[in-house]
Chain A
Amino acid sequence: MAATWPLTGRAEELSLISGLTRGREGPTGVVLAGAAGVGKTRLAREALAAAQQRGVVTRWAVATASARALPLGAFAATVGVVGPDPARLVRQASDALLAGGARAGVIVGVDDGHLLDELSAVLVHQLVLRQAATVVLTLRTGETAPDAITALWKDGHLSRLELQPLSADETATLVEARLVGPVDSAAARRLWSMTRGNALYLRQLVEGELESHRLHQVAGLWWWSGRPELSPGLVELVSARIGQLPDAQRDVMEVLAFGEPLGVTLLAKLTDAVAVEQAESRGLVEVHPDGRRLQARLAHPRCGEVQRAQLGTLHARRLRGRIAAALAATGARRADDTLRRALLVLESDLPANPVLLTAAARRATELGALALAVRIATAAVAAGGGFEPRLLMGNALTWSGGAAEAETELAELATLARSDAERVQAVIPRVFALAWGLARPAQAEAVLDDVGSTVSDEVATTELTGIRSILDASLGRSVQAAHTAAGVLADPRCSQAAEELATWGLAASCGGLGRLDGLAERVRRIDARAEAFETGLLQAAAIGSSWVRGLLLAGLIDQAEQAEQRYRERCQDTPGPGELITSTMCGAVAQARGLVRTAARWFRQVLAGNGNWSFSLLTDLPGVLGMAGKASLARQALAEMTAARNPAHAFLDPELLLARGWAAAAEGAVSQATALARQAAELAASQHQPAAEVLALHTAVCFGDRTVADRLAELATQGRRPPRPGRSSARRRPGRRRRCGTARRLGST
């Protein structure tokens, strides 16, 4: 690990500064402006170091509030001159600064130029105007600088560069350079989102998290777990800055620390309009348009954390109550307002409202914020919310890896259901928990059968059939699943929930079947609902994952990549299953493109972050490692995947065999690899997954098998009309409608 922080993401700024400080005509230098902690001083230091390497004499002066009271206070240490005559003083200081620079020149760095005393400012001004030295001066945006300094750029003598915080990509690069290794993309995004690219806050945060071991390496990847604590350095830094503020501006910061983002009008009502404006001018508060509102938030999230940590519990509870009441008084019409209001109420001096909390738990589920959904739903249940919050809690637990707890909760909930609709609502997440969470697909089927025998409501029945189609697809009964799902979707009584479940079943089965006709439109409908938050984000991503698998099996990599990017964008701020599902999609697309290192990185990221998802999400990891020639790693990953095998994911068994084949190939056991690929093809054929069979046969060809061309040609020329459910593959009759795209492309291999 690097002992110091490297300078990355500033190559373009350094290049510009280098040009501005090496001019041959006119004054040379640059004013670097920016927010506190953005990296102005470091950049100025680097510019001086570069000049020094060219033989230029460098001088460095730091202006401070305390030295401001002294004439030439900033330069006192550098030039060591004192005297009563200001004009003489400036000349003496100038001579001292320029001493020894006759040949290659002098470059003077001035840090925090807004704090310069008047005489120091005149000295800098004269150095520039006389072209006696190159000047690199930093100053904080929003602060008033002496006139002589302001004139430097106002009169066009020096360029003023507004230094920006690092982008998300630049932040990730900097952290990886510091840690000397790849960082989990979710961790990198969180680091950026908590620091907004402010280099100083980033350094404080990373060093603190390293020290506490919450930032640690797993499988070669830097992974960040738990909630970051506030390092003493950061608390000191932020406290010093906030401590200097007048009370009214501090109130603005406090209210935003607990309630951001807030509409500017509401914030002004809760605090003081002039103070809000002043806080914005100081760069402490940012204001952005959001629809018809102007929303205010703290410029740096970490400032809010420090304030929250420092405020007394009772004061904080009262403040949250005030903000929640003010939000409610505005009507709180947006869906996000409900969630924010509920969160404020939960930790305030106001009484819990089960209706508000249930609505908020529903919203958190839609957003894929599962831990939050569990927390709010639990509070709603405690406040007497009844059936719905318990269902929301069970559902969120199922998705977030708490399958055992969810199963207990949902089994109990089933006994409380008062209608067919409620019975079915309770059994759907329970089937997920049993089959995919607890690897008990037989029990999941039994529960489904049991509920099915008691439900007579027709709409509820379509929903039950919808979940059954997903289970069938996952158990490798592709034809049965596709048939069942199609039946639900053709049923006029099909509810929205049934449509979502059946689309999932269809997407999960049709990928292996190589039948994607009409599926894109159905997936788009679900995506549009997820976009409008009518469908849960995770459910849409899971359906999308099946869709992407189908596209990849069909060889439609561009389309798969477009879909993957769409889901990734949506889920990137949702740590947990959404992140894992989309990372798996990214890995699969990279693998299909032959980007084996990229694919392995994505899959490793999933490995580091998953709970009980390893088998379904990581079947391809051993294969990718095998393709990359990493035999021992492939074998190790294979052992883990095999141990984690879940019988509820039987449809992935052919792909697991292929992964074993790649691991064997990496070890040089090509005959074994070929046999495994052929075995995978046979298994895929028996599961009626011709697209997966084509992939397996193609892999066999890659291993040197010359005997599969006939079967590939047969698949290429065969129609893909599947047999009716219950008919064996041996009796399958070739249809005439369409061909399997992948087989057509690979048949000539």
Chain B
Amino acid sequence: MRDEVVAAGVDGCPADDPSSRRRRAEAIRRLPGAYSLALRLRDAGLADELIAECLAMQRESLDPLLQVAEAKLAAILGSEQG
């Protein structure tokens, strides 16, 4: 069977180029709701307290949640490139 062809142009782009931003936004959309919202709010520059309030969670829980969210985002972006 022919090998799957990897879609072109998924890596090597600077983080701020439109294509990377679009891919990141798309990947964030695929995350579970709370992770997705947390990253979008942080990208929008909201303070941690406010993000925790929007997510209806305690401030102490935000850092671990963001760590997992970032790791899941990296996994999605990585799987697209792989």
Residue numbers of A with Cβ under 8 A of B are 11-13, 15-16, 20, 30, 33, 153-154, 156, 159-162, 164-170, 197, 593-598, 627-630
Contact mask B1-26 → A, CB, 8 Å, 1/0?
11011010000000000000000000
Say which size band chain B's interface belongs to: 20 to 34
Q: Is the CB of B63 within 8 A of A169?
A: no
Can you name 29 A-B pairs with beta carbons within 8 Å? A12-B75, A13-B68, A15-B71, A16-B67, A20-B64, A30-B64, A156-B60, A159-B60, A159-B64, A160-B61, A161-B61, A161-B64, A162-B57, A162-B61, A162-B65, A164-B32, A164-B33, A164-B35, A166-B32, A167-B30, A167-B32, A168-B30, A169-B30, A169-B76, A593-B5, A593-B7, A595-B4, A596-B1, A629-B2
> With A12-B68, A16-B71, A33-B61 in contact, is A162–B34 under 8 Å at CB?
yes
User: How many Å from the CB of B33 to the closest CB on chain A?
Assistant: 7
Give the interface of B toward A (CB within 8 A): 1-2, 4-5, 7, 30-35, 55, 57-58, 60-61, 63-65, 67-68, 71-72, 75-76
Complex: how many Å from CA A160 to CA B65? 9
Q: Which residues of A contact B1 (CB under 8 A)?
A: 596-597, 628-630
Given A16-B71, A164-B34, residue A627 in contact with residue B2 (CB < 8 A) = yes
Residue of A nearest to B5 (CB): A594
User: Across the interface, which residues of A come within 8 angstroms of B76, CB to CB?
Assistant: 169
Tell me, in angstroms, the Cα distance from A595 to B30 when the chains sit together. 22
Asked if A159 and B5 sit within 8 Å, CB to CB, the answer is no
A residues in contact with B34, CB < 8 Å = 162, 164
Are A597 and B64 closer than 8 Å at their CB atoms? Answer: no
Q: State A156–B60 Cα separation when bound (angstroms).
A: 8
Residues of A close to B2: CB separation below 8 A: 594, 596, 627-629
| Residues in A neighbouring B72, C-beta threshold 8 A | 12
- Nearest residue (CB) in A for B34 is A164
Inter-chain contacts of B30 with A (CB < 8 A): 167-169
| CB-CB nearest in chain B for A197 | B32
Q: Which of A16, A154, A165, A627 contacts B68 (CB 8 A)?
A: A16
The A/B interface has a contact count, at CB < 8 Å, of 69
A662 to B1, CA, bound (A): 14
Given contacts A12-B72, A594-B5, contact A165 B32 (CB under 8 A): yes
Point out the residues of chain A lying under 8 angstroms from B4, CB to CB: 595-598
Query: Closest Cβ of chain B: how far from A118's Cβ, in Å?
Result: 22
Most buried by A among B1, B64, B65: B64
Instruction: State which of B60, B64, B75 has its C-beta within 8 Å of the C-beta of A16.
Output: B64
**Chain B residues whose CB sits within 8 angstroms of the CB of A30 once the complex forms:** 64
Q: Choose from A12, A162, A593 the contact partner of B71 (Cβ within 8 Å).
A: A12
By a CB distance below 8 angstroms, the chain A residues around B33 are 164
B65 and chain A: residue at smallest CB distance: A162
A282 to B19, alpha carbons, bound, how many Å?
41
Query: Complex Cα distance A629/B63, Å?
Result: 50
A11 and B75 in contact, given A164-B35, A595-B5, A629-B2 (Cβ under 8 angstroms): yes
**Roughly how many angstroms separate A165 CA and B75 CA in the complex, as a whole number?**
17
B4, B32, B76: which has the most chain A beta carbons within 10 Å?
Answer: B32
Bound together, the chains give a CA A164 to CA B4 distance in angstroms of 33
Q: Are B68 and A153 in contact (CB under 8 A)?
A: no
Chain B residues positioned under 8 Å from A11 (CB to CB): 75
CA distance A13 to B65 in the complex (A): 9
Q: How far is the CB of B21 from chain A (nearest CB, A)?
A: 16
Closest CB in chain A relative to B13 CB, distance in Å: 15
What residues on A are CB-neighbors of B31 within 8 Å? 167
B70 to chain A, nearest CB (A): 9
Q: Closest B-chain residue to A166, C-beta based?
A: B32
Report the nearest B residue to A141, measured CB to CB.
B57
Distance, CA A12 to CA B67, complexed state (A): 9
Across the A-B interface, give the 6 residue pairs with the lowest CB-CB distance, nearest first. Answer: A12-B71, A164-B32, A161-B64, A594-B5, A167-B32, A160-B61
Which of B1, B34, B35 has most A Cβ within 10 Å? Answer: B1
| Distance, CA A16 to CA B7, complexed state (A) | 31
Are B71 and A154 interface neighbours, CB within 8 A?
no
Taking the closest CB of chain A, its distance from the CB of B66, in whole angstroms, is 11
- Measured in the bound complex, the distance between the Cα atoms of B5 and A382 in whole Å is 55
Docked Cα-Cα span, A625 to B28, in Å, equals 34
Partner of B63, one of A33, A159, A166, A170: A159
* Distance between A4 CB and nearest chain B CB, rounded to angstroms: 23
A161 to B68 CA separation, bound complex (whole angstroms): 9
* Complex CA distance for A58 and B33, rounded to whole angstroms: 33
